[in-house]
Amino acid sequence: MLLSLVLHMYSMCCVLPAAVLLGTAPTYVLAWGAWRLLSAFLPSRFYQAVDDRLYCIYQSMVLFFFENYTGVQILLYGDLPKNKENIIYLANHQSTVDWIVADILAIRQNALGHVRYVLKDGLKWLPLYGCYFSQMYLVIFPEGTRYNPELTKVISASQTFAAQEGLPVLKHVLTPRIKATHVAFDSMKNYLDAIYDVTVAFEGTVDDKGQRKEAPSMAEFLCKECPKIHIHIDRIDKKDVPEEQVYMKRWLHERFEIKDKLLIEFYDSLDPERRNKFPGESVNSKLSLKKTLPSFLILSGLTAGMLMTEAGRKLYVKTWIYGTLIGCLWGCCSGLTQGLTGKRCVASQRWS
């Protein structure tokens, strides 16, 4: 009986956030759609300002669960961001919560509404959010796929490619791909202030034998299985980034060599005192409830109010159904257009 209760409580740790995050989706999409229509004849800056604010509200609610609800400790190292900047965020990729780590930094710079992502093409099929998320950019994971120590074939392929190219072989990260980084930098260099080279390590991802385990999934994270996130930041001024692709490729690999050394220190250091942390002083950065709780109350309150009336419930269901169908239709049309124009970027398992 007691075991059954414990298992039930454990599952609820994940079910509650998932229910709220998914349950408020129609409310958010309706608000965004209404503003999109109302602002159709206004200058684009008005639409963008409110769109950023709406996005910030939803992402703040996400962080309410991923920081305040889970109680995870955020430890920051290196060049701690102070002012809001236009940046490209480059990071190692190992978990389904990596995009939330980008939000964790952004909210501390009051820039949460401006974060955009390069995401896998398949994510455009997510119900309601797919067509919205697929327009986002700036956060880039150059490895192209998640590093998982259990996927030995992927790691071996990455290391083999590096060796064939005469590049140093990496242990705790995959060989980075250059194309998305180069395109992003070349397109936005006139507006950028810097690149944030971010290295992330999740504490508790080493087994009893000292071997690295798979990073926590989103569900495991929400079930409070990750006590600490260690985030190391190197701020690189845009003038220090080579613009030509051939030189940027070498530069990017050098940045990942630095990441690899940091992670070797974190996971494999022979000195127990240096393990489970990055070199240098760390700052325990706790997020105030004032930053996230209002967004949770606003979206959940609006959703609850909608569901209390019959008309509201009908609108809610129709938003789920038609919003998903429109998103899928948009995905098909955009995929066809990109295919015809030759501009579609398809991720492959070949490192280039």
* Amino acid, single-letter form, for residue 19: A
pLDDT at position 127 is: 52
Cβ pair 105, 196 in contact under 8 A: yes
DSSP-derived 3-state class of residue 237? strand
Q: How far apart are CA 35 and CA 38, in angstroms?
A: 5
pLDDT at position 119 is: 54
Residue 350 burial (C-beta neighbours within 10 Å; 0-12, 13-18, 19+): exposed
Tokens read off for 22? 């998914």
pLDDT at position 327 is: 64
Residue keyed to tokens 């009986």: 1
pLDDT at position 338 is: 43
**Cα dist from 252 to 171, 184, 188, 204, 221, whole Å:** 16, 13, 17, 28, 29
pLDDT at position 83 is: 81
* Amino acid, single-letter form, for residue 36: R
DSSP-derived 3-state class of residue 83? coil
**199 beta partners:** 232
β 228-237/194-202 pair status:
antiparallel
Cβ pair 88, 185 in contact under 8 A: yes
pLDDT at position 188 is: 87
Cβ pair 92, 147 in contact under 8 A: yes
Residue keyed to tokens 């398949």: 122
Contacts (Cβ under 8 Å, ≥6 apart) of 177: 142, 143, 144, 351, 352
Q: How far apart are CA 252 and CA 255, in angstroms?
A: 5
Q: What is the largest CA-CA distance in the chain?
A: 66
pLDDT at position 348 is: 31
pLDDT at position 349 is: 33
pLDDT at position 152 is: 93
Contacts (Cβ under 8 Å, ≥6 apart) of 252: 90, 142, 176, 178, 181
Contacts (Cβ under 8 Å, ≥6 apart) of 229: 72, 73, 74, 75, 101, 104, 200, 201, 202, 203
10-residue averages of pLDDT along the chain (352 residues) = 44 79 90 91 89 90 93 94 87 92 91 72 50 58 92 94 94 94 90 94 88 90 90 96 95 97 94 91 94 95 95 92 73 49 35 36
Q: How far apart are CA 170 and CA 162, in angstroms?
A: 8
